[in-house]
Chain A
Amino acid sequence: MIAQLTRNERLHAIQIGLVVAVCGLLLGLAGRDDPIGLHGGLIFVAGLLAIFLVGRDYYAPEPSDDRLTRYYDDPSKAGVVLSIAWAVFGLAVGDWVAWQLVNPDLTFGGGWSSFGRIRPVHTTSVIFGFGGNGLIATSLYVLQRTSRARLPDQLAPWFVLLGYNLFCVLAVTGYMMGITQSKEYAEPEWYADIWLVVVWVVYFLIYLRTLARRKEPHIYVSNWYYMAFILVVAILHIVNNLAMPLSFGSAKSYSAFSGVQDAMTQWWYGHNAVAFFLTAGFLGMMYYFLPVQSGRPIFSYRLSIISFWGITFFYMWAGSHHLHYTALPQWVQTLGITFSLMLLVPSWASAGNALLTLNGAWHKVRDDATLRFMMVAAVFYGLTTFEGSFMAIRSVNSLSHYTDWTIGHVHAGALGWVAFITFGSIYASVPWLWNRDGMYSAKLVEAHFWLGLAGTVIYVFAMWNSGIIQGLMWRTYNESGTLAYSFVDSLVAMRPYYVARAVGGLFFLIGACLGAYNIWMTIKNPGLVATQGGGRPEPKLAAQPAE
C-alpha cells in the first residue's frame, strides 16, 4: 500500500496524520471529563497509526511511472473487504436487536447494549458501513473504467476510504457510549459530522479530477448517479446537522431547528438519504455491473437519463409523506403524496430498464448466481418503490405509520434491493479486481443467494403481517364505541412475527458470512489467478449479437 505512494504523497500522508492526531489530542484534552474525550483519544490514535504506517516505509523505493498505464484499484480492493466486514458486523447486530424484541433481557444488563443504543449501531453499520464502503469501492472502480482514466493521485482515495471508516467507527462507538443527536440516520454528533464533510469534499474532488482526465466527452450514466449521490448527500448532511455544541470539549449539541421545522428538515434529510444514498448510488452500481456481467448494453440509455432526472427532481419533494396527520401543514403533506406517486414513473423505468436488459440473457441469469443477485435486486427495487408510493397515500399511511409495516418496507428495499445489488456487484468485481478466473466457490455464491432471498422474504412477510395487525388493532372499536384493544394486547400479538423476523434476519446473516468466507478464500487462493493475465475476463464470455 505504502509502496504505491510517491515520496511526496507519503510526506502529505504524514502531514495529514499529524493534523488528525493534533485535532484528536485537542478534543481529548478539552473533553477530559466528557465522552468526547474518548473519541479524541481514538482520533489521536488513528492519526498516530497513519503516521507510523507511512513512516515505517517512508524510504521504500518509489513506484515506477509504469503504474500510470494501469488503473489504481488498491482502494477499491480495501473498500470491498471493509464493506463485507461491516455487513457481517451490522447484520449480526441487527439480528441481535431483533432477538431483543423477543427476549428483552438479551441486553445482558448493560447500558451500552440496550435496544435504543444498539439499533443505530445496526442501521449505521449496514447503511454507512456496508453500503457506503460498497459505494466508495465500486464508484472508484466504475469511474476509472468508464472514463478510461486513472485516479488523479494515490493518496486522496485512501484518505476518503479510511477517513470515511473513521467516521463510521466514531458513529458506532459513540452510540454505545450514549453520544447521539437522535436524528434518525444522522445520529453522529457535530465533530464526526464536520469530519465527514471534509472527507466528502475530497471524495467529490476525486470525481471531478478524474472526470477532467477522461477521453470520451460523454459521461457514462453510472457516474451521473454516483455524482448525484455524492453532491446531494453533502447538501442534506450539512443542512440537517446544523447544530450548536455546548463547547469544544462536549459531545452534546442542540439542533438549530426545533419542532415542525426540525421534523420537516429531518424527514427531508431522511427521505432523501434513502433517495440519494440508498437509491442513486446503487443505481449507479446497477447501470454498470448489470450490463457488464450480462454482456449486454443497457436496454435503453435514454430511459436511464429520463429516470435519472426524474429521481433527482421528484424525490426531494416527497419527504413530507413521513409526517401525515401531524402538525405539519396540510398542503405540504399533499405535495408529498403527489410527488411520491409520480416517483413511481422514474423508479419503474429504472427497474424495467434493468430487467429488459436481461431479455435474451435469461439463461445466464439461470446459471450465474451473481447475475441473479442483480436481477432480484431490480425486482425488489420495483416492488419496494411501488410499496413506497402506496404507503405515501394518506389513508394507507394512517394505518401503516408507526407500525412494523414501515420496517418491512425499509427492509424489502435494504435487503432485497441495496444489499442484493451490492453483493452482486461485489461478486462480479472481486475476480476482476484480484485478477482471478472466478470466485473461490460458485456453490457458495449460490447458497448465499438462496439464504439471502429466503431471509428477505421471511423478514418482509413477518413485518407486513405484524404491521397490518398492529395498525388494525390500534384502530378497532367495539360496539360500545370504545377502543377494543389496549396497547399491550397489540404487543402480545406481535410476538410470533418478531420471532419469524429474527429467524429471517439470521438466514440473511448466515448468507453474508458465507459470502465473506468465499471472498476471503478468493483473495487468499493464488491458484485461482486468471490464466490470460490482466484485465477483466468477462467480455469474452459475452456473445454480442449486435456485432
Chain B
Amino acid sequence: MSIFGFHYRLERKAISLILGIVLVSSIGGLVEIAPLFTISQTVETAPDMRLYTPLELAGRNIYIREGCYACHSQMIRTLRDEVDRYGPYSLAVESKYDHPMLWGSKRTGPDLARIGEKYSDQWHVAHMINPRDVVPVSVMPAYDWLLANELRTDDLSLHLKAQRKVGVPYTDDMVANAAADAYGQANPDSTQADGLTKRYGKATTVRIFDGQADRLTEMDAMVAYLQVLGRLTTAAGKSMAQTGASQ
C-alpha cells in the first residue's frame, strides 16, 4: 500500500504543477483578449462598408499565398509621418471582414493599406511583371506568372460559404453567383458585370484589370484587390476630417 501512497503523491505533484502553469499562463491572455470580443460596442461603425467581391477575395488569397504580408504592412499608425506618407490612419472597422487580418509586421516595402487607386492598373501590371521596370531600385521579386495563370473560379462559392461561416455577411445570391461575379468584374461589357454591381453596389470597380479582355487571370484578381485596398469604406477619411476640425 505504501507504494500506492508514494505514487499518488508523486502524480499529484505533477498534476498540480500542470494546473498551475495552465492557470497562471492562460489568465493573462484571457484578461487581455476577452474584452476585445465585445469591442464592437465601442468602436466606430461604417454603414457604407462593403464586402470584398469574389474577384477581390481571390486576389487577397493570392496576396496571402505569395507571402506579400512578409514585406508590406496594411496598418497605418496614428503617427504624423505615417499619415502624411500613406493617408488617414487605419480604423479597426476597416479590417472587420479580414479573415485573417493582414496588418503585417515589417515594411521592407511601403504600407499598402490605402494603395487603392493611387496607381493605374497598367502601372500595377507592369510592376508585377518586373518591379524594376517601374522602380529601378526595387528589391521586390517579379510575379510575371500571375499574368499567365488562369484564375481558378470553380471553388469561389465555397470560399464565400466558408467566409460566411466565420461571420462575413455574404448572401445566398452572392454565394451562388460567385464565379460569374468574378468574371463580370474583369469584363465590363458582359452581362455578368450588371449582376455584380447589383449585388455589391454601384461603386464596385469593373475594369479589365490585367489589360487582356479575353482571359480571367490571377493578375486580374491581384490588381482588383490592390485597387480596393482602403476603399471598402470612407469612414477613415471622415474620422480624420472630424479630428482635424476639432483640433
Contact = CB atoms under 8 A, between A and B. Distances in A.
A474 B107 CA distance: 11
Nearest to A336: B32
Given A217-B10, A332-B32, A403 B99 contact: no
A104 B140 contact: yes
B203 interface: no
Given A117-B67, A265-B33, A488-B137, A316 B28 contact: yes
Interface string B95-114: 11111111111111111000
Nearest to A118: B67
B7 interface: yes
Interface string B12-54: 0110011001101111110111011101001100000000000
Interface in A407-433: 407
A182 B69 contact: yes
A227 interface: yes
Interface residues of A, number: 96
B9 A114 contact: no
B141 A255 contact: no
Given A260-B95, A324-B77, A488-B137, A175 B25 contact: no
Contacts of B166: 243-244, 254-256, 258
Nearest to A211: B14
A253 B166 CA distance: 10
Contacts of A180: 64-65, 67
A219 B14 contact: yes
Interface string A106-146: 01010100111101100000000000000000000000000
B162 interface: yes
Nearest to A489: B137
Interface string A215-251: 0011100001001100110010001000111110010
B70 interface: yes
A258 B100 contact: yes
Contact of B79 (A218, A312, A398, A488): A398
Contacts of B142: 104-105, 107, 109
Given A119-B70, A224-B17, A244-B166, A259 B141 contact: no
A259 B28 contact: no
B85 interface: yes
A403 B111 CA distance: 12
Contact of B145 (A111, A219, A260): A111
Interface stretch (A44-52, A475-483, A536-544): A475-483
A403 B107 contact: yes
A245 B163 CA distance: 9
B68 A116 contact: yes
Point out which of A107, A208, A231, A327 has the most chain B C-beta atoms below 10 A from its C-beta.
Answer: A327
A157 interface: no
Contacts, number: 259
Given A228-B25, A264-B36, A265-B33, A252 B159 contact: yes
A248 to B, nearest CB: 11
Point out which of A263, A265, A335 has the most chain B C-beta atoms below 10 A from its C-beta.
Answer: A263
A261 interface: yes
B176 interface: no
A327 B100 contact: no
B13 A259 contact: no
Contact of A254 (B21, B106, B162): B162
B66 interface: yes
A492 interface: yes
A360 to B, nearest CB: 31
A325 B21 contact: no
Interface in A48-73: none
B120 to A, nearest CB: 19
A406 interface: yes
Interface of B: 7, 9-11, 13-14, 17-18, 21-22, 24-29, 31-33, 35-37, 39, 42-43, 61, 64-71, 73, 75, 77-79, 81-82, 84-85, 90-111, 131-132, 135, 137-143, 145, 155, 158-159, 161-163, 165-168
22 contacts: A115-B141, A116-B66, A117-B67, A120-B70, A175-B67, A181-B64, A183-B100, A212-B14, A228-B25, A243-B166, A247-B158, A258-B96, A258-B167, A259-B101, A262-B99, A319-B32, A324-B77, A325-B77, A329-B42, A402-B106, A474-B81, A487-B110
Q: Sorted from nearest, which 4 A-B pairs have the closest CB atoms?
A: A116-B67, A316-B28, A325-B77, A255-B100
